[in-house]
Structure 1
């Protein structure tokens, strides 16, 4: 009945209480973490998937009235794609990644959709589209969890960042929460509550404390970085009302994805012409390469894949000193391979947390094309992003008006030695602990959901 749900920027996970402890539910290939990705053979199939899974929901009439124009086109689209009755044309998680890599130019692919929910300037139809993406993913994930558990899930606490967007403020937060609330209820949840992700991680950590501590939780997720300064320990953890224990929060839309993008821009884009020259002696325009890498910005990606940009890149081929480099960028544009490119930046970042060097494999662009990346390269590329993350920690401490006893690090990028060094250099020798970088938020959400809905 009750589930904690981390609809994350990098991964999705669900947990239930089992014998007084949170247990993460297998969602994909026996593992609890499902990559936050969706691939559709046609974007209209997302609406079709939602409509078919809404049959027993009181949201049916509202949804069908709002999407009737799109739904009318579905039979023709399914016929063109030769989809059988049992084929949805929708993939999530690793299956979505595999489909995208095999057919990058033929379908619609989105990674970290939550990163877009707070975007400013979205038109009503764009908000509706993100509602459908979130609904389809939550429906599919919920169905997998229920199949494993053998019972229906009706109440949930969903994790949310402190701020979904760097700009837009509370309006962006309300927009994103509205998208997630509507999606979760259309997916079949009767009761939906939210909890800051760093607080969820802190609640999970609190179980292990044998004495009261002032804890700064630093959560570096895929799309956002969040800090919560919390009083926790034996004197606090039995309380249901914890508002007075949460001393401060800070957050910004900058996370692991931004580190991947920065590394890809600085170290992979030179192989595609960044830093090279035009025949006139002028440098190649930087915005072209930023658009190619910025996979978490819907507007820049739309510009990069536009017909207008294709014509511009083709025109530039005549004017550059090294057209063979620009041809590689043109291939990425034509084949919609931005995500594959940035994925190599992500893999390099992960590898460099343990190794001094890593070769990024770009053979999908050109045979045997690789790039050597060192730890120093990584540090140079992500330095500005790390500064912003450290500033968030400083802001949380300043707002709390006291110093933490412990810094608790969680999130996929929190294991980076460069982040720990940057925090230590700025904040001093405060003890730092790493929790479960991927599971602590889900476990905390599960504990909170159980306490909230059973009180």
Structure 2
């Protein structure tokens, strides 16, 4: 069987399509359609161990040879932690988030692993780790999906990918990320994998509702990236397999909901930890240490935040600070590894501000900060400027869209929606399914590719790899 697979920065989702009817599979907790893209392990070595165990057979034995050092460490850690063979050591989705919140100072926690796949300068062992993380998540999603349909295995999939995984790194970064995804998907048991730009997937889902042909600008504000595509769409095109000629422009960068959360945490929550205070010299406290604390989707920033040199820097800043007690809170935040918690609090504030003008944010230390919708708008303004530029980059000067189709979880925020609508004020804006459009479009594409329902020739995968 075949499926549309959205391996998202915020959530994973799986959908089937039969004769144009899409069914989202309930792979999430409590029958929901979305599994959070979060992994927690009591030790990082347990991730490789879990993948090898779940693969089993020849595939498991082959990977075990490549991960011998990690497996040896896992055996030592089981003894050190006094764990029995049946004890859980790795958690995915909501269970991972809860395990992290219970003991944030222990274990290995990663949120939105997709955000790291195109990072520059990844060492071979880091690439291997992300391959294992993605493989483990895909194994889990695939197993949950197959349990839902109870009709054999899912062997073919169309997987979504952003136009650009990173803001820098170019096609080399894209190829690195796509290779990790493909390797993981094959290890997880998919025989055939095709990739499709996420905004095109959203566009194909929107196309199913169109009664006349239109030129559509799709703006997908996802968890890790914002992607824009200008596409000719309509009933006269939807059954055609080859769509390269309908795709008039693409743009994308790693600016997503995670970045909005980080910006909000930086500007409104980091003052509690000393941002904006002064040194005894009268100079402002440097911003970089606070940015490294909240930039949880930046490999380099997180490496620096957890380094010995960061500890030394904090000690020096505390000697020179007019308000050292605020920096002491940053010391505790780092020591207890509660920076993920802080950004999660900012995410919840962002969601709350979609309905209210003022929300209360509780810090990991129990203190409260009031955050207003105006403060959120100001915090994300530089990011929204870049999103506006992406929209214009996808649209030629002499070819305006007939309609703007907006999707992605963060597009629900009034501060985001209003800025998107302001770019082409004369063009109507349609709000799509904020979370399901991409998955549904991937499933529709899977039916065209794998069920032979389409006409025309070519792959038309829209990955930019041809």
Per the TM superposition, whether the score is higher than 0.5 is yes
- 2:142 aligned residue: 142
- Structure 1 residues 319-340: Cα deviation after superposition (integer angstroms, max 9, x where no partner): 2111221111111110111111
Does 2:372 align with 1:374?
A: yes
Separation in structure 2 between the aligned mates of residue 248 and residue 285 of structure 1, nearest angstrom? 40
Does 2:427 align with 1:426?
A: no
The 8 Å contact of residues 160 and 198 in structure 2, kept in 1 or not, is answered as yes
Separation in structure 1 between the aligned mates of residue 46 and residue 234 of structure 2, nearest angstrom? 48
Shift of 1:302: 1.5
- 2:74 aligned residue: 74
- Of 140-149 and 186-195, deviating more is 140-149
Shift of 1:242: 1.0
The 8 Å contact of residues 263 and 378 in structure 1, kept in 2 or not, is answered as yes
Aligned pairs (5 A) from 1:30-429: 30-56=31-57, 59-150=59-150, 151-362=152-363, 364-365=364-365, 367=366, 369-398=367-396, 401-429=398-426
Separation in structure 2 between the aligned mates of residue 425 and residue 152 of structure 1, nearest angstrom? 46
Separation in structure 2 between the aligned mates of residue 311 and residue 303 of structure 1, nearest angstrom? 12
- Of 9-18 and 103-112, deviating more is 9-18
- 2:458 aligned residue: none
Separation in structure 2 between the aligned mates of residue 421 and residue 398 of structure 1, nearest angstrom? 22
- Structure 1 residues 277-331: Cα deviation after superposition (integer angstroms, max 9, x where no partner): 1223222121110001101001111111223322332343232111221111111
Shift of 1:241: 1.1
Separation in structure 1 between the aligned mates of residue 163 and residue 187 of structure 2, nearest angstrom? 24
Separation in structure 2 between the aligned mates of residue 88 and residue 450 of structure 1, nearest angstrom? 37
The 8 Å contact of residues 11 and 34 in structure 2, kept in 1 or not, is answered as yes
Shift of 1:84: 2.7
- Structure 1 residues 152-182: Cα deviation after superposition (integer angstroms, max 9, x where no partner): 1111111000000111100000000000000
Q: Which runs of 4+ in 1 moved over 3 A?
A: 58-62
Shift of 1:351: 1.1
Separation in structure 2 between the aligned mates of residue 437 and residue 37 of structure 1, nearest angstrom? 20
Shift of 1:18: 4.9
TM-score scaled by length of structure 2: 0.94
The 8 Å contact of residues 314 and 330 in structure 1, kept in 2 or not, is answered as no
- 1:17 aligned residue: 17
- Of 247-256 and 144-153, deviating more is 144-153
TM-score scaled by length of structure 1: 0.96
The 8 Å contact of residues 54 and 60 in structure 2, kept in 1 or not, is answered as no
Separation in structure 1 between the aligned mates of residue 18 and residue 445 of structure 2, nearest angstrom? 14
Does 2:442 align with 1:445?
A: yes
The 8 Å contact of residues 44 and 74 in structure 1, kept in 2 or not, is answered as yes
Give SS of 2:384's match.
Answer: helix
- Of 11-20 and 21-30, deviating more is 11-20
Structure 2 unaligned spans of 5+: 453-466
Structure 1 unaligned spans of 5+: none
Give SS of 2:409's match.
Answer: coil
**Number of corresponding residues:** 450
Give SS of 1:173's match.
Answer: helix
Separation in structure 2 between the aligned mates of residue 451 and residue 18 of structure 1, nearest angstrom? 10
- Structure 1 residues 177-216: Cα deviation after superposition (integer angstroms, max 9, x where no partner): 0000000111111111100001001101111101111000
The 8 Å contact of residues 305 and 336 in structure 1, kept in 2 or not, is answered as no
The 8 Å contact of residues 8 and 37 in structure 2, kept in 1 or not, is answered as yes
The 8 Å contact of residues 222 and 256 in structure 1, kept in 2 or not, is answered as yes
- Structure 1 residues 29-67: Cα deviation after superposition (integer angstroms, max 9, x where no partner): 2101111110011000000011111213x5345422321
- Of 82-91 and 235-244, deviating more is 82-91
Separation in structure 1 between the aligned mates of residue 82 and residue 13 of structure 2, nearest angstrom? 33
- Of 82-91 and 267-276, deviating more is 82-91
Separation in structure 2 between the aligned mates of residue 84 and residue 145 of structure 1, nearest angstrom? 29
Separation in structure 2 between the aligned mates of residue 159 and residue 425 of structure 1, nearest angstrom? 28
The 8 Å contact of residues 45 and 88 in structure 1, kept in 2 or not, is answered as no
- 2:457 aligned residue: none
Give SS of 2:236's match.
Answer: coil
- 2:461 aligned residue: none
Separation in structure 2 between the aligned mates of residue 285 and residue 396 of structure 1, nearest angstrom? 36
- Structure 1 residues 374-407: Cα deviation after superposition (integer angstroms, max 9, x where no partner): 11101110000001001101011127x5111000
The 8 Å contact of residues 268 and 371 in structure 1, kept in 2 or not, is answered as yes
The 8 Å contact of residues 49 and 88 in structure 1, kept in 2 or not, is answered as no
Q: CA RMSD in A?
A: 1.4
- Of 324-333 and 274-283, deviating more is 274-283
